[in-house]
Chains A and B, each alone.
Chain A
Amino acid sequence: MNLYQKNGIKGYEAQEYDVAVIGAGHAGIEAALACARLGVKTVIFTMSLDAIGNMPCNPSIGGTAKGHLVREIDALGGEMGKAADATFIQSRMLNKGKGPAVHSLRVQADRERYHVYMKRALERQENLDVKQAEIIDILTDDGKIEAVVTHLGAVHKVKAAIICSGTFLKGKIFVGDINYMSGPDGMHAAMRLSDELEKNGIKLRRFKTGTPARVHRRSIDFSVLEEQPGDEPVVPFSFQTKEKLENRSTCFVAYTNEKTHELIRENMHRSAMYSGEIEGVGPRYCPSIEDKVRRFADKPRHQIFVEPMGLETEEIYLQGISTSLPEDVQIDMYRTIKGLEHVELMRNAYAIEYDCCDPLDLKASLEFKAVKGLFGAGQFNGTSGYEEAAAQGLIAGINAAHLILGKAPFILDRASSYIGTLIDDLVTKGCSDPYRMMTSRSEYRLILRQDNADERLTPKGHEIGLISDEIFEDFLKKQELKNSEIERLEKTSVSPSEKLNEMLVSRGTAPMTTGAKLADLIRRPQISYDDLTEFDVSRPEIPSDVAQQAEIAIKYEGYIKKQLAQVEQMRKMEQKLLPENIDYASITGLRLEAREKLQRVRPLNIGQASRISGVSPADISVLLIYLESHKL
């Protein structure tokens, strides 16, 4: 290799690696751990070792659909769930009562301890070097990654690199009419890598996100706020967490009021959002308070969640009120809120704009179509959220390792997981604003539950090599236990008794006149597994999560079967492969828009093609006829 010399930096030949992970946030961590665990020699670079696994926005893991992602990461052998279990301070199961498909686990994490946990996980990992350096360039040869270059001129030859740059690429912070180049939490922005990526044919665009203020605990009057305690018993994220977990802190709810809204309206012109200076596209699901007040003018109040940042800090996060108003307006605004009248800001709210790629340029393996061996994950791919980032990091890591090991790409389809849905959405539909996972994005919600993530993914994790034989054995035992419980419930009858009928009637269902199988009683939507405890004499001692899965399997059997039938149909479409060299421009039956979209996305199969926006059912028929008539 010629000695690197560029922009005043004289390169030196540094250690060679199989994979370099650029960035040690939530995506980078999973990517690096996956690679190293799969036995390839890996290095992870971070701008600051003190910011590994940092949470620059809210100190929480999980939430609707995001909680599903964490469970899935865990089921595949990732780290996020274990870290959350080890460092959470409050846990809630959201959406109880709305059905098992949408039960979602969410925890408040201790931000500092989470960082410490993750830093140590990286440090202790075999095959993994952890380095503080900024990557300023990538070297390629013939469309293939060759090396990464640090700001001090270290040229590391690599076979693959994964960009997990978060909001750092040309990061620019906006507070009112003040703006400056910066990363989050006082770190500097990565100013140089973007241009080099673009020179290598990676198109970049600007996205934007925002965060609210952190304030001092003692400046809040908690006595006038609603408390929002954690749920007991705590359900862990990780399928491997066996010890009992406990809530250690609590959150509160505050509300904006008309005074708050008036102040915002008066100062709207001073918000960076409306100054026209921000070119980045912000996330729809995470509107700033200015946005909320403007778009939902008739809403008398907006909720604010008052969340501790950790056990060893007095910092409090104010969820729901992110803003890019000037600091003086921020202070006045927060102080209009009941309970926050004397609030003291510790870190101001801001909007941040950054470079990211267009995920349509990625394959489903998260490798760039344009540069072999170059992968992207996390916010760099246009998403938002720690969990979305971690999920992509894990998949990019596995695929980078597979590339080096000569294995086939690891691709999860939509019916397997929220992870598969997330990546399919990204590489098929792209995103026009930062992408957040939602349960409504999955058409297979009833089978992609958080409770059965292990059933869906642990065999795959074991096959890849991220789940040990020992854990897999445990998993198989659990499955067996579940299946035999389902079988027992299907076979065991109870005869009607006065007491049983009393219970049935009290739940609003019909009394029994003849004997019935336990499973048939569980099929009644109003009757739970626990309702039957005293009438079910042969019930074995089984863990509650196993019992819950058995119950769901029986109760929702009809709907689950229906979804499984849809899955089968979808998988049939996924099996109709589109050849890699197909020239869509020459298929005249396709509408122009469809030709362009198909040429751009280059879907792997008819199923994926059908999900591209701008490709109509008519276009799909043309493709099918084309495949048929060319016997492809």
Chain B
Amino acid sequence: MSNRTVAAVSTPLAVGGIGVVRISGDDAVNIAAKVFKSVSGRDISEMKGYTACFGRVFDSSGEFDEAVLTVFRAPKSYTGEDVAEISCHGGVYLVKRLLRAVLDNGAYPAGAGEFTKRAFLNGKISLTQAEAVGDMLKVQSDYAARAALSLHDGVLFKEISEVKNKLVEISGHLCAWVDYPDEEIEEISLDEISDTLYMAKDRLSKLIGSFDSGKMMREGVDTAIVGRPNAGKSTLMNLMAGAQRSIVTQIEGTTRDVVEEVVRLGDLILNVADTAGLRETDDVVEKIGVELARKKMEQSQLVLAVFDSSDTLNDFEYSLIDELKDRTAVAIINKIDLEQKIDVDYLKQHFKYVVQISANSKDSLEALTETITEAMGFNFADPNAAMLANERQKKCADTALTACSQAIECLESGFTLDAVTVCITDAIECLGELTGESAAESVIDEVFSKFCVGK
């Protein structure tokens, strides 16, 4: 059943201008005809590839939206199969209703990445392309778009190759030394091995770190707003949300006392959780809210700690400040339009990033954006630097990093070099998987090109 017709919503399920349901497979156009009626009375099933048609979508309860149907005919479509794309008005409800209608008329729900998988199987795109496309679709800001492009340019490939080649060099030397014990092969110094391994470890760690920031770029930074009650958390939330109202989503079903919004702040996408005010309380319901707030704070990648500048710091805030000392956090000193009582110096000593604003004023947005961007370090990250793009690549890098660490451990604890070599080979193997080369071959080539060995 590989060629069954599948459908899915292919735009993010969010409030937006339009939402697209894509149907792919032999029956794509026929199914589209069962949910879409042309205004001009055109016969949908006769539509040629690369043509579009205006009409209305309907289900068993009747018409529910205006829409545009675009038809692509195999093999000239994204998936290489017949494809029908119905664009209706955005919004979770309408798009879901349309998808439901399509599925009711014989389409199967598409699995995650199924369109790309089909495109790939039909020879429309290569795996690396498939991976990059997947990321491209997720790109939500210019910043992320730039990072996704650098994959195509081979920056990642170059970085991985460089690390790998260094490892191949020492591995080749070790192998020559082992495989040709009677030749006069200079013994490789343990320092040299160690230096190379630390270098590899360092560069891989950076890459892996960049993956996390890359992911944040694409998927947003999980952000928690914390602070005592009435510090101005909700006002801050509104300020940020108001900045880019059109892409802000109110996520349904959020737990009581934690309100989540997706906001855009400059180049950043923040998944912001506005939490209950932190304080000791005996109220059972409020207690639950406070616990949730703490949990959110612990799980978030960025903490925005809001302080009321018109009051002095209380014990609760002192302990909060202490809790945040190893976190990526910004101290937001709110209500600067009021009389200042807060110890600003204390906050500046304990937070690397401090911004003083008045959440009521839209003018504060610029300073806020600047400080948060700086805190996330994206200001300093070169968007054109090598970056791991997806989980598969990250897994390879992770495994390579672990292998390097094991090699170091093995070397430093005084094990024989055969065990060290095995760890290094593992690392090369993983990196080779990323660049598509075989480890064993590259090491052997190294042996024969660098060393004069043989009877």
Mark A residues whose CB is within 8 Å of B.
57-58, 64-65, 94-95, 97-102, 104, 212, 283-287, 292, 295-296, 299, 301-303, 305, 319-320, 322, 429, 438-441, 443, 445-446, 508, 525-526, 556, 559, 562-563, 566, 588-589, 591, 611, 613, 616-618, 621-622, 625-626, 629-630
Contact = CB atoms under 8 A, between A and B. Distances in A.
Contacts of B120: 589, 622, 625
Given A65-B179, A100-B416, A303-B183, A559 B422 contact: yes
B425 interface: yes
Interface string B102-139: 00000000000000010011110011100000000000
Interface in B196-221: none
Nearest to A104: B181
Contact of B448 (A284, A299, A303): A284
Interface string B408-443: 001001111111011101100100010010111101
Contact of B175 (A287, A440, A559): A440
Given A94-B182, A98-B178, A618-B126, A446 B455 contact: no
A609 to B, nearest CB: 13
B184 interface: yes
A530 B272 CA distance: 64
A630 B3 CA distance: 10
A562 B406 CA distance: 11
Interface size class of B (residues with CB under 8 A): 35 or more
Contacts of A439: 175, 178-179
Interface string B237-258: 0000000000000000000000
B127 A286 contact: no
A102 B2 contact: no
Nearest to A421: B440
B400 interface: no
B413 A305 contact: no
Contact of A305 (B182, B415, B417, B433): B182
Contacts of B419: 99, 101, 446, 556, 559
B121 A629 contact: yes
16 contacts: A64-B180, A98-B416, A285-B448, A285-B454, A287-B452, A296-B452, A302-B452, A429-B441, A438-B444, A440-B175, A440-B179, A440-B447, A525-B416, A589-B121, A618-B126, A625-B121
B127 A563 contact: no
A440 B178 contact: yes
Contact of B422 (A292, A302, A445, A616): A445
A97 B410 CA distance: 15
Contact of B438 (A65, A508, A566, A611): A611
A95 B178 contact: yes
Contacts of B33: none
B416 A97 contact: yes
Contacts of B413: 525
Contact of A64 (B181, B440, B452, B455): B181
Contacts, number: 134
B453 interface: yes
B452 A588 contact: no
Interface of B: 2, 117, 120-123, 126-128, 171, 175, 177-184, 406, 410, 413-419, 421-423, 425-426, 429, 433, 436, 438-441, 443-444, 447-448, 452-455
A97 B416 CA distance: 7
Contacts of A429: 441
Nearest to A425: B440
A617 B431 CA distance: 12
Contact of B181 (A95, A283, A618): A95
Contacts of B447: 438, 440
Given A98-B177, A440-B444, 9 more contacts: A98-B418, A100-B418, A101-B416, A296-B452, A559-B415, A589-B121, A589-B122, A613-B441, A622-B120
A101 B438 contact: no
The 9 closest A-B pairs by CB, nearest first: A99-B416, A99-B418, A618-B127, A588-B123, A440-B175, A101-B418, A629-B2, A296-B452, A525-B414
A438 B453 CA distance: 12
Contacts of A526: 414
B454 A287 contact: yes
A618 B128 contact: yes
Contacts of B453: 285
B455 A322 contact: yes
A320 B184 CA distance: 12
Contacts of A102: 178, 418
A443 to B, nearest CB: 6
B422 A446 contact: yes
B393 to A, nearest CB: 11
A316 B433 CA distance: 48
Contacts of B423: 559
Contacts of A440: 171, 175, 178-179, 425, 440, 443-444, 447
Contacts of B179: 64-65, 438-440
Contacts of B182: 94, 303, 305
